[in-house]
Amino acid sequence: MSVKVVVNGYGTIGKRVADAVAAQSDMEVVGVAKTRPNFEARMALEKGFPLYVLAGRESDFKDAGMEISGTVEEMLNEGDVVVDCTPGDIGAKNKPLYDAADIKAIWQGGEDHELAGISFNACSNYDEAFGCDYARVVSCNTTGLSRILSTLDAEFDVGKVRATLCRRSADPGDVKKGPINAIIPELRMPSHHGPDVKTVLKQIDIDTVAIKVPTTLMHVHIVNVNLKQECTSDDVTDALAENPRVRLIGDGMSSTAEIMELARDMNRPRSDMWENCVWEKSISVSDGELYLFQAIHQESDVIPENVDCIRAMTELERNSAKSIEKTNKAMGM
Ligand code: NAD
């Protein structure tokens, strides 16, 4: 059985989700939706994805010489599941469209947990999404934190978590956002990221603070975790090494710039780094307190999670580890 997937919103996340779905043997892309006839729309056509548009915008695409297959509403009739990758808060407005088309829907981290009722991370709560109609794949930061915390909790019983998030200011292709020469502290304490982790891992006691830094490449997390079971730094390193969505970083990589260079050297599509990159040397346990640094590629860590979420919701695979393995293999991870 091949599950039919449509992608509504073909920007940073949407175009990556479409490629990742197209790489799987048990699902296919039957439509992507764009608002404007730009270079991304033309690339979608060149990749062979049927292109759908907002009702009323058909002539914009025809004038640009782009062949369209219909409107967003028509696209929804073609799919078993829609992955909404529109900007934050727009996805919520699309819910009535999805309900009218009787299609399963996945939203991204820019939407509130309450919209879907299930916030998803494959390593943490795959089973919760099994067979469900709505889910939200959590943000890049929440995905990065959930992956390591679910592993640490299973192995060492996590107590209090404190994390400082140094967030990239904009994605590389984003010409509108900044700052380009300032650091902006988020003055709300704790930042919204901690409560967001609890939508996935309800049992975790976590506080987060955040600053925005002038970079486009990756986020960096400084993580402190109280571990209730006695363990050493090596035990934590071994446990994280077992997580198929965590990459231990060494070999002279001292910055996010070098991690992105590694992704380019690996010929990763769009130089994406889908895994959490944990600096192995930073993993340090003393008196039950773990400290580590990790880098998160904001444009891509949620992409394999969307694929697993489709598999869980459409009941293609019961077992989370098997789905993660299938997804990783097909994407070349
Ligand atoms: P984006 O702006 O790069 O892409 C959004 C796309 O949706 C654009 O192509 C836009 O034209 C299109 N769009 C706008 N309104 C639309 C509508 N009504 N119908 C169909 N398409 C519409 O945004 P993004 O960065 O891909 O973010 C999408 C979602 O993913 C957001 O919820 C965001 O919070 C989340 N997310 C983003 C990142 C990231 O770093 N970029 C990481 C994780 C999660």
Q: Is the CB of 302 under 6 A from ligand 1?
A: yes
6, 8, 10, 13: residue to mutate for ligand 1 pocket, most atoms within 8 A of CB: 13
> pLDDT under 70 in the chain at which residues?
none
Residue 80 Cβ < 6 Å to ligand 1: no
State which of 108, 113, 137, 143 you would mutate to test the pocket of ligand 1, scoring each by most atoms of that ligand within 8 A of its C-beta: 108
Q: Is 126 in the pocket of ligand 1 (CB under 6 A)?
A: no
> What is the model's pLDDT at position 159?
98
Q: What Å distances lie between residue 276 and 172, 240, 245, 294, CA to CA?
A: 19, 10, 6, 7
Tell how far the Cα of 212 is from the centroid of ligand 1, in angstroms.
Answer: 20
The confidence score (pLDDT) of residue 332 equals 97
From residue 230, how far is each of 161, 284, 325 by CA, in Å? 16, 13, 30
Task: Find the helix or strand (DSSP H, E) in which 171 lies.
Answer: none
Q: How far apart are CA 139 and CA 315, in angstroms?
A: 23
Token output for 113: 């947990």
Q: Please name which of 42, 39, 21, 38 lies closest in space to residue 30, comparing C-alpha atoms.
A: 21
Ligand 1 pocket: which of 16, 86, 272, 274 to mutate (most atoms within 8 A of CB): 86
pLDDT computed for residue 58 by the predictor: 97
CB 137 near ligand 1, within 6 Å: no
Give residue 14 CA to ligand 1 midpoint distance, Å.
Answer: 7
**214 CB under 6 A from ligand 1?**
no
CATH of domain 140-296: 3.30.360.10
Query: 293 is written with which tokens?
Result: 């640094």
Encoded tokens for 178:
């900044």
- Compute the distance from residue 165 Cα to the ligand 1 centre, in Å: 22
Q: What is the pLDDT of residue 295?
A: 98
Q: Cα dist. 332→26, 50, 260, 291, 304 in Å?
A: 16, 25, 17, 30, 11
Q: Is 172 in the pocket of ligand 1 (CB under 6 A)?
A: no
pLDDT, one tens digit per residue, over 213-237 is: 999 999 999 999 999 999 999 999 9
The pLDDT of residue 275: 98
CATH number of the 3-138+302-331 domain: 3.40.50.720
Residues 6+ apart with CB under 8 A from 125: 118, 119, 200, 201
- Nearest alpha carbon to residue 32 among 70, 88, 64: 70
Residues 61-88: tens digit of each pLDDT: 999 999 999 999 999 999 999 999 999 9
216 close to ligand 1 (CB < 6 Angstrom): no
- For the annotated catalytic residues, the residue numbers are 140
172: preceding bond cis by omega (within 30 degrees): no
Helix and strand counts by DSSP (H, E) for the chain: 14, 16
- The domain spans of the chain are 3-138+302-331, 140-296
3-state secondary structure of 146: helix
Q: Which residues contact 324 (CB under 8 A, 6 or more apart)?
A: 122, 123, 244, 245, 304, 308
Question: Which residue's alpha carbon is at the smallest distance from atom 9 of ligand 1?
Answer: 11
Please tell me the residue having the least CA distance from ligand 1 atom 8.
11
**Residues facing residue 210 across a β-bridge:** 165
How far is it, in rounded angstroms, from Cα 136 to Cα 151? Answer: 21
Q: What is the DSSP string of 56-106?
A: T-HHHHHHTT----EEHHHHHTT-SEEEE-SSTTHHHHTHHHHHHHT-EEE
Model pTM? Answer: 0.98
C-beta 208 within 6 A of ligand 1? no
